[in-house]
Copies of this chain bind each other. A is one copy, B any other.
Amino acid sequence: MTIKNFDQLEAHLSQTTTRKRVAIVWAEDESTQFAAARALKAGFIEAIFIGCQEQLRQLDALKPYADHITYIQADEKDQAAATAVQMAKTGQVDIIMKGLINTDNLLKAVLNKETGILPKGNVLTHVTTAHIPNYDRLLLFTDAAVIPCPTREQRIEQVKYIAQLSRAMGVQEPKIALIHCTEKVNEKHFPFTVEYRELAQMAADGAFGPCIVDGPLDIKTACNLHSMETKGIKSPIHGEANAVIFPDIQAGNVFYKTLTLWAGAQTAGILQGPLVPVVTPSRSDSTECKFYSLAVAAML
């Protein structure tokens, strides 16, 4: 079943019988607590709260789900992060979620060369899943938050991860567009457009599993058939991209913020690349955004 919006995602996860084990690091803030409670209610996680246990044990919102909650002692935030990462490394948790700890501090533990969980050759990249009113499918995109300007190798990993996540969300053969401001390859000013053609060929050769990759395409051509036809462009993306890769963090970040500020989009964000997906919402994100982020991570 293809998940087309966040309601369908929640309904789907409510019906699954397996639970993902989620290490929740320093859940001192209400929105993290309520996001976890909602996932416990839907029945798709086992919550392992690391730190803040005295506070959490008192919470009415969590009491009904005591059978599916474990509390682990941690005296301070960095220690909680290290414990979560160590549990992921030893296969004891399937997802790491950030509570009230700075993302940088959590990532320091994730990326630690000796004790961390980013396998050699993997790349840490941020993938957003967006529900945009008037778009008939979820749109996945990378990278609004982590990699400033992807190298060829990093972009290959980004395509791999986003194809994997799209399929996990039920899209059998995801259409992945490589974004540029036009459809023209321009080696002189935009050398990455040459790499785009190479990535499309790699995809056609099966390097990323079932998926269709094409580019350079602009975001409008990638997501709107009418724009594609008006411009006289032919692309197997067909104006119905399931996922898009942005050329740099500036474009990805502007896209993310414009969607949420002015297009009424709902979003979920996860980090891919580490042994387990890592959910690192901003402090200011809503309970809903944190819940959806956890839900998307649970699909992997």
Contact = CB atoms under 8 A, between A and B. Distances in A.
Nearest to A180: B250
Contact of A148 (B144, B189, B219): B189
A185 to B, nearest CB: 14
Contact of A254 (B135, B148, B255, B284): B255
A24 to B, nearest CB: 22
Given A248-B250, A250-B180, A227 B261 contact: yes
Contact of A251 (B190, B220, B230, B250): B250
A168 interface: no
A245 to B, nearest CB: 12
Contacts of A234: none
A181 interface: yes
A76 B231 CA distance: 24
B258 A219 contact: yes
A134 B250 contact: no
Interface in A235-263: 246-255, 257-263
A120 B128 CA distance: 44
A258 B250 contact: no
Nearest to A222: B257
Contact of A257 (B133, B219, B257): B219
Question: 7 closest Cβ contacts across the A-B interface?
Answer: A181-B253, A262-B263, A250-B251, A220-B257, A230-B284, A251-B254, A263-B263
